[in-house]
Structure 1
Amino acid sequence: MPSSDRPLVSLTVAGIARRGDAYLLVEERIRGQRYLNQPAGHVEPGETLLDAVIREVREETRFGFEPTGLLGIYHDNPGQGRRVLRVAIIGEIDDEPDDQPLDSGIIAARFMDRATLENAEIPHRSPFVTAAIRDFEQGYCYPLDLLHSIR
């Protein structure tokens, strides 16, 4: 297959954390538009999936994050545009965030219950947001040892 025909994939991670009935989310600004998302981002070269999710949650929310389970692996393959593979990881967060500034583009870290999120005026960054919450509430949780890093 010619290299121009190979699919382009972005490998991302998302941290799924809940306190009571509310999920940890971020409000972010992308190209001038506000969106809601889980704390999430790209896996950097040399990072494991777990290293990446711990870093992303801290950078975007200032909460420490301890991974506890694998929620799922989500693939978006639109007819055009970038294809995304997102690994959603469940975890526990610290009681309080640290006092460092939020990552560039992040407006605020927020806790929202499912109903508030579903009825929010701010659009979701992608269908991954509600898919992950739906799967979490259905009890999906797999052992972290399913994730292997080969360096």
Structure 2
Amino acid sequence: MTWAPHVTVATIIEQDNRYLMVYEEADGQKVYNQPAGHLDPNETLQEAAIRETLEETGWTVELTGVVGVNLYTAPSNGITYFRTTFIARALSHDSQRQLDTGIIEAVWLSYEELVARKHQLRSPMTLQIIEEYRAGRRFPLEVVG
């Protein structure tokens, strides 16, 4: 029997007490999530996080740390995701960049706005990892090989 989780990355970018989020269509619903996506062949987790953030938001970022590594099994499809969530600093924005298919827009939301949209989050992990970040959970980038 062969089983393997899907390897994904996500990025938390906080600026002026707001978090860069992606408003997207997923599984026929409009939801909020961190910039996130799958690891591509021959790239590092760090490269994937920077690429996915740019493709989904138009923001170029610099990774500064790691919040955590989590497993999540989506009830909608039964797929288990192995996700590394990075912390990043926004460097520059390309407002003319076409965003990935399914992305409606990139938005900056406060923690309170995220809590108010709790029912619109892509998964419980979306808010959980921000709460871990807000509680001070930080690891150096070197923790990820």
TM tier relative to shorter chain: over 0.9
Query: Retained in 2: the 8 A contact 1:13–1:89?
Result: yes
* Runs of 4 or more above 4 Å deviation: none
**Which of 104-113 and 89-98 deviates more?**
89-98
Query: Retained in 2: the 8 A contact 1:34–1:122?
Result: no
Residue 89, structure 1, aligned to residue 66, structure 2: no
Residue 58, structure 1, aligned to residue 38, structure 2: no
Mapped to 2, the partners of 1:72 and 1:97 lie a distance apart of 28
Partner of 1:114: 111
**Which of 89-98 and 102-111 deviates more?**
89-98
Aligned with 1:132 (options 116, 129, 133): 129
Partner of 1:74: 70
Mapped to 1, the partners of 2:95 and 2:36 lie a distance apart of 18
Residue 104, structure 1, aligned to residue 126, structure 2: no
Q: How many pairs are equivalent?
A: 144
Please give the root-mean-square deviation of Cα atoms over the aligned residues, in Å: 1.7
Aligned with 1:15 (options 11, 15, 18): 11
Mapped to 2, the partners of 1:126 and 1:147 lie a distance apart of 23
**Which of 120-129 and 99-108 deviates more?**
120-129
Q: TM-score if structure 2 supplies the norm length?
A: 0.92
Mapped to 2, the partners of 1:104 and 1:127 lie a distance apart of 23
Structure 1: gaps (5+ residues) = none
Q: What is the 5 A alignment of 1:30-41?
A: 30-41=26-37
Query: Retained in 1: the 8 A contact 2:61–2:92?
Result: no
Query: Retained in 2: the 8 A contact 1:11–1:85?
Result: yes
Query: Retained in 2: the 8 A contact 1:29–1:105?
Result: yes
Identical amino acids, percent of aligned pairs: 33
Structure 2: gaps (5+ residues) = none
Deviations 1:26-56 (A, max 9, x none): 0001233101000000001111000000000
Amino acid paired to 1:34: K
Higher strand proportion (structure 1 or 2): 2
- SS of aligned partner of 1:74: strand
Mapped to 2, the partners of 1:123 and 1:82 lie a distance apart of 20
Amino acid paired to 2:112: A
Rg larger for: 1
- SS of aligned partner of 1:64: strand
